[in-house]
Amino acid sequence: MKIFIDTANVAEIRDGVSIGIVDGVTTNPSLIAKEKRPFRPLVEEICSIVPGDVSLEVVATDFEGMVKEGEELSKIAKNVVVKCPLTKDGLRAVRHLSGKGIRVNQTLCFSATQALLSAKAGATYISPFLGRLDDISHVGMDLVRDIVEIYRNYGFTTQVLAASIRSPLHVVDAAKAGAHVATMPFAVLEQLMKHPLTDIGLKKFLDDWAKAGVKL
Protein backbone atom coordinates (compact mmCIF):
# COMPACT_ATOMS: atom_id res chain seq x y z
CA MET A 1 0.00 0.00 0.00
CA LYS A 2 1.26 3.46 -0.88
CA ILE A 3 1.44 6.05 1.90
CA PHE A 4 0.50 9.64 1.05
CA ILE A 5 0.41 12.55 3.47
CA ASP A 6 -2.62 14.77 3.49
CA THR A 7 -1.13 18.21 4.03
CA ALA A 8 0.10 21.33 2.25
CA ASN A 9 2.62 22.10 4.99
CA VAL A 10 6.10 22.14 3.49
CA ALA A 11 7.88 21.37 6.78
CA GLU A 12 5.71 18.27 7.32
CA ILE A 13 6.20 17.17 3.73
CA ARG A 14 10.01 17.57 3.91
CA ASP A 15 10.07 15.63 7.19
CA GLY A 16 7.90 12.80 5.81
CA VAL A 17 9.77 12.54 2.53
CA SER A 18 13.16 12.48 4.33
CA ILE A 19 12.16 9.19 6.03
CA GLY A 20 11.81 7.61 2.60
CA ILE A 21 8.39 6.02 3.04
CA VAL A 22 6.13 8.78 1.75
CA ASP A 23 4.95 8.02 -1.77
CA GLY A 24 2.88 11.13 -2.42
CA VAL A 25 0.85 14.05 -1.11
CA THR A 26 -2.80 15.00 -1.26
CA THR A 27 -4.02 18.55 -0.75
CA ASN A 28 -7.42 20.16 -0.78
CA PRO A 29 -8.59 23.81 -0.72
CA SER A 30 -8.93 23.78 3.09
CA LEU A 31 -5.37 22.48 3.57
CA ILE A 32 -3.95 25.02 1.09
CA ALA A 33 -5.86 27.88 2.78
CA LYS A 34 -4.40 26.89 6.17
CA GLU A 35 -0.86 27.62 4.93
CA LYS A 36 -1.58 31.33 4.23
CA ARG A 37 0.88 31.36 1.31
CA PRO A 38 0.33 32.28 -2.36
CA PHE A 39 -0.94 29.18 -4.17
CA ARG A 40 1.48 28.87 -7.07
CA PRO A 41 4.86 29.07 -5.26
CA LEU A 42 3.49 26.82 -2.49
CA VAL A 43 2.40 24.01 -4.79
CA GLU A 44 5.51 24.33 -6.97
CA GLU A 45 7.61 23.82 -3.85
CA ILE A 46 5.51 20.82 -2.77
CA CYS A 47 5.81 19.20 -6.21
CA SER A 48 9.59 19.67 -6.18
CA ILE A 49 9.95 17.96 -2.76
CA VAL A 50 7.67 14.96 -3.33
CA PRO A 51 9.01 12.05 -5.39
CA GLY A 52 5.51 10.79 -6.30
CA ASP A 53 2.05 12.11 -7.05
CA VAL A 54 0.75 15.40 -5.66
CA SER A 55 -3.02 15.95 -5.81
CA LEU A 56 -4.08 19.56 -6.44
CA GLU A 57 -7.79 20.33 -6.38
CA VAL A 58 -9.86 22.47 -8.74
CA VAL A 59 -12.18 25.01 -7.14
CA ALA A 60 -14.52 25.50 -10.11
CA THR A 61 -17.73 23.48 -9.88
CA ASP A 62 -18.86 23.59 -13.53
CA PHE A 63 -17.47 21.31 -16.25
CA GLU A 64 -15.76 24.04 -18.30
CA GLY A 65 -14.20 25.63 -15.22
CA MET A 66 -12.94 22.30 -13.87
CA VAL A 67 -11.39 21.42 -17.24
CA LYS A 68 -9.71 24.84 -17.54
CA GLU A 69 -8.34 24.72 -14.00
CA GLY A 70 -7.38 21.05 -14.34
CA GLU A 71 -5.37 21.75 -17.47
CA GLU A 72 -3.60 24.67 -15.75
CA LEU A 73 -2.84 22.63 -12.63
CA SER A 74 -1.51 19.71 -14.66
CA LYS A 75 1.12 22.00 -16.22
CA ILE A 76 2.63 22.93 -12.84
CA ALA A 77 4.70 19.73 -12.63
CA LYS A 78 4.84 16.20 -14.03
CA ASN A 79 3.73 14.68 -10.72
CA VAL A 80 0.51 16.70 -10.45
CA VAL A 81 -2.73 14.74 -10.25
CA VAL A 82 -5.80 16.94 -10.67
CA LYS A 83 -8.47 16.54 -8.01
CA CYS A 84 -12.11 16.92 -9.09
CA PRO A 85 -15.19 16.54 -6.87
CA LEU A 86 -17.59 13.65 -7.43
CA THR A 87 -20.47 15.51 -9.07
CA LYS A 88 -22.07 15.15 -12.49
CA ASP A 89 -19.83 17.90 -13.87
CA GLY A 90 -16.92 16.36 -11.99
CA LEU A 91 -17.46 13.02 -13.76
CA ARG A 92 -17.60 14.79 -17.13
CA ALA A 93 -14.39 16.61 -16.24
CA VAL A 94 -12.70 13.32 -15.27
CA ARG A 95 -13.71 11.76 -18.58
CA HIS A 96 -12.45 14.80 -20.52
CA LEU A 97 -9.19 15.29 -18.62
CA SER A 98 -8.29 11.59 -18.51
CA GLY A 99 -8.99 11.42 -22.25
CA LYS A 100 -6.28 14.06 -22.70
CA GLY A 101 -3.83 12.05 -20.61
CA ILE A 102 -4.27 14.17 -17.47
CA ARG A 103 -4.49 12.03 -14.34
CA VAL A 104 -7.38 12.73 -11.99
CA ASN A 105 -8.07 11.94 -8.34
CA GLN A 106 -11.84 12.03 -7.90
CA THR A 107 -12.57 13.31 -4.44
CA LEU A 108 -15.47 13.57 -1.99
CA CYS A 109 -16.62 10.02 -2.72
CA PHE A 110 -19.21 8.75 -0.24
CA SER A 111 -20.86 5.83 -2.07
CA ALA A 112 -20.01 2.74 -4.09
CA THR A 113 -22.19 3.95 -6.98
CA GLN A 114 -20.17 7.17 -7.18
CA ALA A 115 -16.97 5.12 -7.20
CA LEU A 116 -18.24 2.83 -9.97
CA LEU A 117 -19.04 5.82 -12.19
CA SER A 118 -15.70 7.45 -11.45
CA ALA A 119 -13.81 4.34 -12.56
CA LYS A 120 -15.89 4.22 -15.76
CA ALA A 121 -15.02 7.89 -16.35
CA GLY A 122 -11.32 7.00 -16.16
CA ALA A 123 -10.19 8.36 -12.79
CA THR A 124 -6.65 7.42 -11.76
CA TYR A 125 -7.61 7.54 -8.07
CA ILE A 126 -10.93 7.43 -6.23
CA SER A 127 -10.97 9.04 -2.76
CA PRO A 128 -13.58 7.62 -0.37
CA PHE A 129 -13.70 9.78 2.79
CA LEU A 130 -13.68 7.35 5.71
CA GLY A 131 -13.58 9.69 8.67
CA ARG A 132 -16.41 11.87 7.44
CA LEU A 133 -18.64 8.79 7.03
CA ASP A 134 -17.68 7.60 10.52
CA ASP A 135 -18.61 11.11 11.74
CA ILE A 136 -22.22 10.50 10.66
CA SER A 137 -22.38 6.97 12.08
CA HIS A 138 -21.70 5.11 8.83
CA VAL A 139 -18.83 2.62 8.72
CA GLY A 140 -16.45 4.37 6.33
CA MET A 141 -14.31 1.27 5.91
CA ASP A 142 -17.28 -0.69 4.49
CA LEU A 143 -17.20 1.73 1.56
CA VAL A 144 -13.51 1.03 0.93
CA ARG A 145 -14.18 -2.72 1.02
CA ASP A 146 -17.11 -2.36 -1.42
CA ILE A 147 -15.10 -0.27 -3.87
CA VAL A 148 -12.12 -2.63 -3.80
CA GLU A 149 -14.46 -5.59 -4.48
CA ILE A 150 -16.31 -3.84 -7.32
CA TYR A 151 -13.10 -2.66 -9.00
CA ARG A 152 -11.62 -6.19 -8.74
CA ASN A 153 -14.77 -7.75 -10.24
CA TYR A 154 -14.37 -5.70 -13.40
CA GLY A 155 -10.62 -5.15 -13.55
CA PHE A 156 -10.84 -1.37 -13.22
CA THR A 157 -7.39 0.18 -12.92
CA THR A 158 -8.58 3.13 -10.81
CA GLN A 159 -6.69 3.05 -7.52
CA VAL A 160 -8.59 3.22 -4.24
CA LEU A 161 -7.13 6.05 -2.16
CA ALA A 162 -8.48 5.84 1.41
CA ALA A 163 -8.91 9.45 2.53
CA SER A 164 -10.15 11.37 5.57
CA ILE A 165 -8.09 8.99 7.69
CA ARG A 166 -8.05 9.94 11.34
CA SER A 167 -6.15 7.16 13.18
CA PRO A 168 -3.62 4.32 12.81
CA LEU A 169 -6.51 1.81 12.96
CA HIS A 170 -7.96 3.38 9.82
CA VAL A 171 -4.61 2.74 8.11
CA VAL A 172 -4.51 -0.91 9.21
CA ASP A 173 -8.10 -1.50 8.13
CA ALA A 174 -7.53 0.24 4.77
CA ALA A 175 -4.52 -2.01 4.17
CA LYS A 176 -6.53 -5.12 5.11
CA ALA A 177 -9.32 -4.01 2.78
CA GLY A 178 -6.83 -3.78 -0.11
CA ALA A 179 -6.81 0.00 -0.62
CA HIS A 180 -3.99 0.92 -2.99
CA VAL A 181 -3.18 4.12 -1.10
CA ALA A 182 -3.88 5.62 2.31
CA THR A 183 -3.54 9.37 2.73
CA MET A 184 -3.23 10.65 6.27
CA PRO A 185 -2.38 13.72 8.32
CA PHE A 186 1.29 13.97 9.31
CA ALA A 187 0.33 13.33 12.96
CA VAL A 188 -1.15 9.95 12.01
CA LEU A 189 1.99 9.05 10.03
CA GLU A 190 4.03 9.74 13.19
CA GLN A 191 1.66 7.57 15.25
CA LEU A 192 2.25 4.68 12.83
CA MET A 193 5.93 4.54 13.79
CA LYS A 194 5.52 4.69 17.54
CA HIS A 195 5.15 1.95 20.13
CA PRO A 196 5.76 2.35 23.88
CA LEU A 197 7.44 -1.08 24.05
CA THR A 198 9.94 0.06 21.43
CA ASP A 199 10.88 3.04 23.63
CA ILE A 200 11.05 0.93 26.79
CA GLY A 201 13.06 -1.79 25.03
CA LEU A 202 15.52 0.68 23.53
CA LYS A 203 16.09 2.40 26.88
CA LYS A 204 16.82 -0.96 28.54
CA PHE A 205 19.29 -1.98 25.82
CA LEU A 206 21.15 1.32 26.15
CA ASP A 207 21.13 1.25 29.96
CA ASP A 208 22.52 -2.31 30.01
CA TRP A 209 25.15 -1.33 27.45
CA ALA A 210 26.22 1.73 29.43
CA LYS A 211 26.39 -0.23 32.71
CA ALA A 212 28.62 -2.86 31.14
CA GLY A 213 30.92 -0.19 29.69
CA VAL A 214 31.08 -2.04 26.32
CA LYS A 215 32.34 -0.12 23.27
CA LEU A 216 31.37 -0.64 19.61
CA neighbours closer than 13 Å in the CB half-sphere of residue 5: 29
DSSP state of 179: -
- Sign, CA dihedral 45-46-48-54, equals negative
Nearest distance from residue 163's CB to ligand G3P, in Å?
A: 4
Nearest to 87 by CA among 54, 124, 60: 60
Does position 57 interact with ligand G3P (CB under 6 A)? The reply is no
Contact with ligand G3P (CB under 6 A) among 3, 147, 163, 181: 163
Q: Please name the amino acid found at residue 90.
A: G
Does position 26 interact with ligand G3P (CB under 6 A)? The reply is yes
Cα(34)–Cα(138) distance, integer angstroms: 28
Does position 29 interact with ligand G3P (CB under 6 A)? The reply is no
How far, in Å, are 65, 92, 201 from residue 42 at the CA level?
A: 22, 28, 41
Q: Please name the amino acid found at residue 114.
A: Q
Residues in the chain: 216
Give phi and psi for 77, each to the nearest 5: -165, 160
Does position 183 interact with ligand G3P (CB under 6 A)? The reply is yes
List the alpha helices (DSSP H) in 20-160: 29-34, 39-49, 63-74, 88-99, 112-121, 130-135, 140-154
Does position 180 interact with ligand G3P (CB under 6 A)? The reply is no
Is 68 among the residues known to form the active site? no
Contact with ligand G3P (CB under 6 A) among 28, 74, 98, 124: 28
Catalytic residue among 34, 68, 78, 83: 83
Total of chain residues touching ligand G3P, rule CB under 6 A: 10
Q: Are strands 104-109 and 125-128 parallel, antiparallel or unpaired?
A: parallel
Does position 132 interact with ligand G3P (CB under 6 A)? The reply is yes
Nearest distance from residue 55's CB to ligand G3P, in Å?
A: 8
- Candidates 40-48, 88-96, 124-132, 203-211; binding stretch for ligand G3P (CB under 6 A): 124-132
Cα(87)–Cα(112) distance, integer angstroms: 14
Does position 164 interact with ligand G3P (CB under 6 A)? The reply is yes
**Which string of x and - marks every residue 74-113 that binds ligand G3P (by CB under 6 A)?**
----------------------------------------
Nearest distance from residue 160's CB to ligand G3P, in Å?
A: 13
Active site residue ranges: 83
Site residues for ligand G3P per CB under 6 A: 6, 26, 28, 127, 129, 131-132, 163-164, 183
